[in-house]
Structure 1
Amino acid sequence: MTPHKHVLIVEDEDKIAQILVEFLALEGFTSTVLNEGTHVVDTVKKEVPAAIILDRMLPGVDGLTICKSLRSFSMVPIIMLTARVDEIDRLIGLEAGADDYVCKPFSAREVVARIQAVLRRATQQNQTESSSEKLTFRHIELDMSRFECAVDGNIIELTPVEFRLLKTMMTKPGVVYSRDQLMELGYDDGRVVSNRTIDSHMKNLRHKLATAEHTSPIHAVYGIGYKVQ
């Protein structure tokens, strides 16, 4: 099984899972399907897939709990499926560490396109950041080649979107980026996301970057956007 072409599907509705398997196969992907959440973390630890399609509502262990557990040791892209259409529910998924979400009912082609987009971004990032370049601001260091963020010398886990947003702001400290700019930088597949999605990412980053000795360098500029300072 080729890791970079392998997608783990965690979905308890057999019909939905089979449709995803078939559409992914048309694009050259292999898939493994789990119909409940109990063994997802152990499965990923044994063999990391290229991406995970994760239903939010699952028997055994729910998708949000799984997502948080995976983020404790892996940055594998996670696309969450949810039957909940309220924006707050989608934001909760992002705060749990999901890279993207798709609401049911959905187009299987859209889900496959989202998978391709997150993998394309990862490939481009690896190509453009293959050097040992490091970016430092105050108590934070980004290692581009390792895709790692260190806060006070301790490695913390960032999602790919969080990493891109933080890198953008750290490259030009003091510069204020509007939410629209951050949307384009964080989601380069042309997808439209709301201001509240960006606010949710920034909330996560602020929490992760703050320590007992240092406050987070991310500042909100009322009515405009965000900056690091």
Structure 2
Amino acid sequence: MTVCHLYPDLLNLYGDRGNVISFVQRCRWRGLDVQVREINLDNPVKFEEYDFLFIGGGSDREQSLIAADLGARVDSLRAAVEDGLVVLAICGGYQLLGRFYRTPEGKEIAGLGLLDFYTEAGNRRLIGNVAVEAEIGGRKTILVGFENHGGKTFLNGLKPLGRVLFGNGNNGMDGLEGARYKNVFCSYLHGPLLPKNPVLTDYLIALALQRKGIGTELSPLDDSIEERANKAMVKRLLG
């Protein structure tokens, strides 16, 4: 499989690169050959060539640079998304996929418009540990992570990644976290997200294999340490 890591030099808040490391390592532990290509500003890219795309978080300045660069390639990205490309977008990368970002002054900065949601500046940062109940591969699980964002995201009927059990999620108001569309998964959870939640990592791997027409029955790995860490955090947050 081939992984596209978009703008790793600009979008890597809170160790978001760890999501790519986790995806790749869990593939290699199973004997799956994986290559990672890092795409930076002005680098040529054909999204249809990839099996997994990762977009991390960054500051407002970095996001504005990226929005202009990625906007020139949005048709290629949209076609790949509609064709089932597996995408994980975190925080700022999540916001970029939406319709717009509304500043405190009311100015709307256009996003890529790939997904039907919008983000507006909040009057306080939403910071802290988060627990989210999500349906992954047909079964409910609790995802854990850490959020730190000033923007508040609102879904226009789009399916969320999950329901907030602890923390703020998309906006601290409606109890929703992240967004899902086809094989696109968006979230505000850093941590990074995938090492903390191997069940989600394996689901993304299975979806990528399915899209390639390869069997999706993954050989089991020893996740006892990861599961203990997840349960410890859930117990700390939920009691």
Asked if TM exceeds 0.5, the reply is no
The answer to which structure has the higher helix fraction is 1
Higher RCO (CA < 8 A, seq sep 6+): 2
The answer to which structure has the higher strand fraction is 2
TM-score w.r.t. the length of structure 1 is 0.37
